[in-house]
A = this chain, B = another copy of it.
Amino acid sequence: MESGSWEPGRPLRIALLGCGVVGTQVARLLTRDAEELGQRVGVPVELAGIAVRRLGRERDLDVPDELFTTDAAGLVARGDIDVVIEVIGGIDPARELILSALQHGASVVTANKALLAEDGATLYEAAEKAERDLYFEAAVAGAIPIVRPLRESLAGDSVQRVIGIVNGTTNFILDAMTTTGQGFNEALDEAQRLGFAEADPTADIEGFDAAAKAAILSELAFHTRVTLGDVHREGITEVTAADIRSAEDMGCVVKQLAICEKLDTPNGPAVSARVHPAMISRDHPLASVRGAYNAVFVESESAGQLMFYGPGAGGAPTASAVLGDVVSVARNRRNGVFGPGESTHAHLEVLDMGQARTRYHVSLDVDDRAGVLAQVANQFAEFDVSIRTVRQEGSGSDAQLVIVTHEADDAALAATVNSLRDLDGVRAVRSVMRVEGGV
């Protein structure tokens, strides 16, 4: 018998790696709903072990003590485990444990976006070699089904663009800034007080978390390998109350967006993936995503515009996504098959940020005299950037130009803005922000 292969008649054995916020919910539901889950899988399922960092910690779980172990490596290598759930997070030891689990015949369900974005190829390859499943619905946008729709529901369509609000912390902060007029630091404090931001919020506010998800979404949408390093990343720490007000004046809101696009280039279609704050029209479905909620907006050739909305984090929502995957891979184990693997057959070029097509909103403090607008307009023309609207505001020392461009290469837009800084009549570049989501 092959190591880890399931013999009909015995229950499917599930091992859980990690028992933090998500793991506790997974263990609770796997225990409480074992019978119902077994019905859905078609054979009984059984929680066979839980790897934790320390034993003896108080856990609000109705699980026998002997299921807990600190020997995660031993648990995944036991040889009689059918499904391993990895909710430890981080690169190591999660990677070694997942690889060992696959080698020992288990399918793997993981919520580990960082690892998938960094080194998904190694995991996919190991899963394919082992003829086991690697499922990861919980890695992107928590409970919101988005991995399966991209991998399967839209498998007969051509996705053009995915725009996601995939980080609840930054959406909470920007939403608070929008509704209360708070500055960034105040809003971050409030988010931390309410538990929507961690004590060290770097991964969220600097865009690392969203960038990992953008890499995963891009790969799924465009059948091309995209890793974290391919994703342009900007955080929200520079967003000011003035930016938020400027957005309002334009009928927009500011959102931290993960944007994954297929662009036409002279060399054929290519992929662009980026994470940054942007203005988006209040009429766009993403504009009304409030608080810590997540949403993923998909534009595809045949289906048109789809949006998937829901809680993007939290123990129970993430556990829901994990258990949906567990039922799928358990059904597959029962049937001796495995689901879709990595799909990178398109091998599209991945563009750098300078080649992304964006629009800019630029506010300039300018001298209040004739000729400044012409000077500024010339500068845009020099970089071949077309202006869509210009608004002059205030007067005297308060004179401002607010410019919104048409779409252009991000490199040209950035170069234009840089050149404006040195312009005689321009006293300061007050704010620069991209505008996304169509008109």
Instruction: Give 20 pairs: A residue, B residue, CB < 8 Å, sorted on A.
Output: A29-B156, A33-B156, A36-B158, A40-B345, A143-B304, A145-B306, A148-B152, A149-B149, A152-B327, A154-B320, A156-B324, A156-B326, A288-B288, A302-B319, A303-B316, A303-B321, A307-B308, A307-B309, A308-B308, A331-B340
A149-B148, A157-B323 are known contacts. Are A317 and B304 too (CB-CB below 8 A)?
Answer: yes
Query: How distant is A251 from chain B, measured CB to nearest CB, in Å?
Result: 16
Residues in B neighbouring A89, C-beta threshold 8 A: none
CB closest residue in chain B, given A327: B155
Distance between Cα atoms of A37 and B328 in the complex (Å)? 23
A156-B324, A309-B309, A335-B337 are known contacts. Are A302 and B145 too (CB-CB below 8 A)?
Answer: no
A320 touches B156 (CB 8 A): yes
CB closest residue in chain B, given A304: B311
Query: How distant is A311 from chain B, measured CB to nearest CB, in Å?
Result: 5
Residues in B neighbouring A310, C-beta threshold 8 A: 303-307
A389 at the B interface (CB under 8 A): no
A144, A152, A331 interface centre (most CB from chain B within 10 Å):
A152
Binding site for B on A (CB under 8 A): 25, 29, 33, 36-37, 39-40, 137, 143-145, 148-149, 152-158, 223, 285, 288, 300-311, 314, 316-317, 319-328, 331, 335-337, 340, 343, 345-346
B155 touches A343 (CB 8 A): no
Residues in B neighbouring A156, C-beta threshold 8 A: 29, 33, 37, 40, 319-320, 322-327
Distance between Cα atoms of A310 and B153 in the complex (Å)? 13
Residues in B neighbouring A154, C-beta threshold 8 A: 145, 320, 324
**12 new A-B contacts at CB < 8 Å, known A25-B302, A148-B153, A156-B319:** A40-B156, A145-B149, A156-B324, A285-B309, A301-B320, A302-B316, A303-B321, A304-B314, A304-B316, A308-B309, A331-B340, A336-B337
Query: How distant is A110 from chain B, measured CB to nearest CB, in Å?
Result: 15
Q: Which of B36, B158, B317 contacts A303 (CB under 8 A)?
A: B317
Residues in B neighbouring A309, C-beta threshold 8 A: 285, 306-309
A148-B152, A307-B310 are known contacts. Are A302 and B328 too (CB-CB below 8 A)?
Answer: no
B152 touches A320 (CB 8 A): no
Residues in B neighbouring A305, C-beta threshold 8 A: 310-311
Residues in B neighbouring A308, C-beta threshold 8 A: 306-309
Residues in B neighbouring A321, C-beta threshold 8 A: 153, 303
A143 touches B335 (CB 8 A): no
Query: How distant is A268 from chain B, measured CB to nearest CB, in Å?
Result: 14
